Structure 1
Amino acid sequence: MLQTVTRAQDLRTWIAEMETAGELKRISGADREREIGGIVDIYQRKIGGPALLFDKVPGYDPNYRVLANLFVSVKRIALTLGLPETTREIDLVRFWRDNFKDHPMIPPTEVESGPVMENVFSGDEIDLLKIPTPRWHEGDGGYYIGTGCMVVMRDPDTGWVNYGAYRVQVHDRNVASVMASKGKHGDMIKRRYHERGEPCPIAVVVGVHPGIFSVAGLEIPYGNNEYDAAGGLLGESIRVVKGPKTGLPIPADAEIAFEGYVHPDDLIDEGPLGEWTGYYAGGLKKEPAIRVETFMHRDDPILTGCIPAVPPNDDTFYRGTYRAGAVWHEIEAAGVPEVKGVWSHEAGGSRMWLTVAIRQMYAGHSKQAGLIASQCHAGAYANRMVVVVDEDVNPADMDQVVWAICTRCDPREDVEILKGCWSTTLDPMAYPEDRRNMNSRMVIDACKPWNRIADWPALVRSSKALDDHVRARFADVLPAWF
């Protein structure tokens, strides 16, 4: 008998919860070629819009659906994590920072079957084209079933299971492709198989509870099982079934999954896809083909898309508070004291711009914090700019950050340029072909000069006592953000 689907692991229950909270919009009749992607693009241009559930896609089973715009809302992120709907951005950052300090790890539980196995196909029965996968952007070179997905692999040496959010394009009934940037765990595992001349087992999962999916896009440390982290995040063990061909663990409550093998030197034309930097930087190129051997889906499956585009977008916004919390934790773990806040700005795809606030304790403290933030695991990939500010500056308020740069930074003394750093071909400013996947980055010390703190000019700002007095007497006429 199948286990009962619980609230923590079923996408459909998440959808119902979001609809009850006023966070879901249903849209019928949009086509997959232009209209679904066009609607999603409009909704992603501003933070706070609803999740979008499309049905009755022309040319497809009317009950097959597409869900997008999952996380362009602080409220939805908070509800997904079991936090109050009044949670603010800074509360999410602190949640992630505290989560990393004492991160619970709950291993997955293997079960015999689950909803994902309501329909199982192999051989000539496999047909990925039955799913109404949209062309997410007008200029895309194909149909990407894998944006809001989990790509599952197992290390051939240690048995470590990793899943990441790598892009997956559908090419034919039983052929897909996977693109993972160099240095990502999935690419490293694939190369270990291929260096032995062996095919790499792979499973692609689409349509799980967004809390499980979200872990796929986070910087979980090397060697750690994302299923363990997802279980800890949701507070219960993730139920998984074995893939019939590969034996890879697949969430039992998933909507869609397929498995197969990536063979050495088996490459296929892939792309372009409009990516999280806001450009078609990757272009059309060769990427590993997935030869699909098993295709599974629930009755009336739901494809989820987490769509990269010009920031802010669904692919990057939810990762910003996580990345800020992770960078905060890793800076402190490196021995840097008195970190007061971190922000990973959405305009930089929640990767390219980091701001770190500290209370200065010694000479060189601010420079140390900036250099470590630029190279710690959570902050290193595709970063471009790190700014360090004093604790009186809100790192999430760009007006304050720019003010600090303009008034506290001497470009001759306080700017460091680092070369040969970890990046990706999706970065339009990455080095030329001979040094691809690398970039340079700037670390800006926008703190008060250490040797001038004692005599630094006073700020032209009301005192806390005056703020409190005004708030107590005139709360009804003050702006909501105060």
Structure 2
Amino acid sequence: MKLQIPYHDLRSWLDLAGEIGEVRGVEGASWQEEIGMAAELLNHSDPAPAVLFDKIPGYPQGHRLLVNFFGGRRKSMTLGLPSELNNFQLSEAFTEAFQAITPIPYEFVDDGPILENIQMGDDVNVLSFPTPLWHELDGGRYIGTGSFNVTQDPDEGWVNLGTYRVMVHDEKSVGFYISPGKHGRIHRDKYMARQEPMPAAIVVGGDPLLFLMTCTEVPYGISEYDIAGGLRGKPYQVIKGKVTGLPIPANAEIVLEGYIDPKKRKPEGPFGEWTGYYGSGLRDEPYMDVKAIYYRNKPIIMGCPPQRPPDEISRYRSILRSGLLKQTLEKAGLSGIKAAWASEVGNTRMLLCIAIEQRYAGHATQVGHVASQCHIGAYAGKYVVVVDDDIDVSNLEEVIWAMITRSDPATSIDIIRNAWSTPLDPRIPPEDRLKGQLTNSRAIIDATRPYAWRDKFPLVNTPSPEYARKAREKFSYLLEG
């Protein structure tokens, strides 16, 4: 299925979301507390609208902030897919389009809306934008939650776009946290090994489709600009940063540009993270000296603050990552993969659920082990549950039912040790965290009917499709309000 992307930037996206009645406006909410409170309520509700905050006290009218962009019918609109598709179908259709594209390289242009306003040198002031305090115990204001960072490999020259949290330190510097192993971190480590400052740009408010691609596991060496261009069928237009020369989206809302000095650190954190905990305490981290800020008239910050899952972040990640997980397993040569779901409760990383049609003894074990260590599943994973294909893997109740009735604790669980994790994993012991030993274990749970006697397994106590159809036709009125 080919995507039909009906918007070209965040503003045209807002216009379309407004036309379907899924944008609300709020005026006068404070950045200190009220915007974060509202985001907490909204992000836990799929049907809730996107909300655009304006007239934020202390800031000019028109300096705005958007939260909860991905929910309701906005999900299909954002992905350019039919509105009648459910989450599972959206994931399958998007993955089909993603795998079929030919990447299209970005192209430089001389001008764009992002150049409507420019702060340089002494005029740079990150505090001129209404960045909220998202969570009560955050160590500061995070301008980068629905943002992405632009970096370039110093050896190979390719450009990476990645979503990493960005904390405001002061008028001219922002924190720049990246977990080990991420592509932007690899770029930064290369510059640090050379003892050279790393050029970077932080895009705060951009095309929602491009933002989603920066949240996706794109292979190393391929730019997210090119993937998103392939999905749109035309190159992304970028301008050349006046300070670093990096490609910056010509239609972005706000862009911070500068350098990260490998010898300089500032305290960063804590921050309420995607695990549902405050990830990492206060610690010294590299930061960016902001040399230039570009922004449109009446700029919009896009905020996607992580909350305890399931939340907005897990909504878009589950749709993006689940279909890719299924295709990754198939490309690894595994047969019988019927469905895969990166569960929202584990923010799509810590719990993976896969349904298979069993074809040989050991099939479920093989699938579970590959899923736990493939590109989609390796980072920060915890549990992989493999079930039979009569289970809806996107329905956690069905998955847990299969797990507790078809698995045996002593014989159905394999443990993998020394796997790739993250400082944000709350279960890593403090002493290991201090040493930089950021690994964990994985549980592979075979929740399928035992292959050797699957035909003798008790029948499921559920009506046949024909029986269920008759019940719906005759008695569905009983379920109506």
- TM-score band by shorter chain is over 0.9
Between 417-426 and 251-260, the greater mean CA deviation after superposition: 417-426
**AA matched with 2:467:** L
Instruction: Name the residue aligned to 1:417.
Output: 415
The one-letter code matched in structure 2 to 1:29 is G
Which residue is 1:61 aligned to?
A: 60
Calculate the aligned-residue CA RMSD, in Å.
1.6
Distance 1:289 1:457 in 2: 59
Q: Trace 1:80-229 onto structure 2 (pairs within 5 A).
A: 80-229=78-227
Q: Is the 8 A contact 1:9 1:208 kept in 2?
A: no
2:25 and 2:437 map into 1 onto residues whose CA distance is 42
How far apart in 2 are the matches of 1:344 and 1:384?
Answer: 12
Q: Distance in 2 between matches of 1:293 and 1:205?
A: 14
Question: What is the alpha-carbon distance in structure 2 between the residues aligned to residue 276 and residue 65 of structure 1?
Answer: 24
Question: Offset of 1:173 from its aligned partner?
Answer: 1.4
- What does 1:357-436 align with in structure 2 at a 5 Å threshold? 357-431=355-429, 432-433=432-433, 434-436=435-437
* Structure 1: gaps spanning 5 or more residues: 1-5
Compared with structure 1, are the counterparts of its residues 96 and 378 closer, same or farther at alpha carbon in structure 2 (3 Å cutoff)?
A: farther
Code of the residue aligned with 1:58 in structure 2: it is P
Give the aligned partner of residue 51 of structure 2: 52
In the alignment, the residues of structure 1 paired with residue 168 and residue 194 of structure 2 have an alpha-carbon distance, to the nearest angstrom, of 27
- How far apart are residue 476 of structure 1 and its match? 4.9
Q: Percent sequence identity over matched residues?
A: 43
Tell me the CA shift for residue 474 of structure 1: 3.0
Are the equivalent residues in 1 in contact too, given 2:44–2:312 (CA < 8 A)? no
CA apart distance, 1:322: 1.1
> Relative to structure 1, is the Cα distance of residues 437 and 75 closer, same or farther in structure 2, using a 3 angstrom cutoff?
farther
Match of 1:276 in 2: 274
Equivalence for 2:465: 464
Q: Distance in 2 between matches of 1:454 and 1:220?
A: 41
Q: Which residue of 2 aligns with 1:353?
A: 351
Structure 1's 459 and 313: CA in aligned 2 closer, same or farther, altered over 3 A? Answer: closer
Identify the match of residue 262 of structure 1 among 260, 264, 278: 260
Q: Distance in 2 between matches of 1:236 and 1:37?
A: 37
Q: Deviations over 1:316-372 (max 9, x none)?
A: 321111111111111111111111111111111121111000000111110111111
Residue matched to 2:319: 321
Equivalent residues of 1:64, 1:302 under 8 A apart: yes
Question: How far off its partner does 1:283 sit?
Answer: 1.2
Contact 1:46/1:312, CA 8 A, preserved across alignment? no
1:40 — aligned with what? 39
Task: Give secondary structure in 2 for the equivalent of 1:380.
Answer: coil
**Structure 1 CA distance for aligned equivalents of residues 313 and 132 of structure 2:** 16
Query: Which residue is 2:453 aligned to?
Result: 452
Distance, in Å, in 1 between the alignment partners of 2:436 and 2:151 is 28
Which one is further off, 435-444 or 53-62? 435-444
Please tell me whether the aligned partners of residues 96 and 326 of structure 1 are also in contact (alpha carbons under 8 angstroms). Answer: no
8 Å Cα contact 1:8/1:234 also seen in 2: no
On the 8 A contact 1:23/1:76 being kept in 2, the answer is yes
Scaled by the length of structure 2, what TM-score is found?
A: 0.95
Q: Aligned partners of 2:234 and 2:164: how far apart in 1?
A: 25
Residues 1:475 and 1:108: Cα distance change in structure 2 (over 3 Å): farther
Secondary structure at 1:379's aligned position in 2?
coil
1:3 is aligned to: none
Tell whether the 8 Å contact from 1:80 to 1:210 is kept in structure 2 after alignment.
yes
Q: Secondary structure at the match of 1:369?
A: helix
Amino acid at match of 2:477: V
Question: TM-score, normalized by length of structure 1?
Answer: 0.95
User: Could you give the per-residue CA deviations for residues 273-310 of structure 1, whole angstroms, max 9, x where no partner exists?
Assistant: 11111111311111111011111000110011111111
Shift of 1:475: 7.4
Deviation at 1:47, TM superposition (A): 2.5
